[in-house]
Amino acid sequence: MAMMRGGPAKKRKPRRPDMGRVRPMNVKPEEIDYKNVALLQRLVSAQGKLFSRKRTGLTANLQRKLTQEIKRSRHMALMPFVS
């Protein structure tokens, strides 16, 4: 049998119980629409950049949908490209 080299195994950090997905911006999936400019502007910074998933608390699918709807809103001239 091969002997393990090195010291004792590293201890792992315990998982935090609050690792679930939160929605700090309180965005519902059905609210994400290119015509809902007030909501979309809350999810974009003053420079016109989208907030990250960490900041919005959205899932990957909803973040992709949000990106698409913001692009649509900009092309329809409902939102500016840069503030």
On whether the 29-75 domain is CATH 3.30.70.141, my answer is no
pLDDT in tens, 28-65: 888 899 999 999 999 999 999 999 988 888 889 999 99
Ranges of H-type helices in the chain: 37-42, 53-56, 60-75
Are the CB atoms for 48 and 56 separated by under 8 Å? no
What is the CA angle 38-64-71, rounded to 5? 55
pTM of this prediction? 0.69
Higher pLDDT pick, 24 / 75: 75
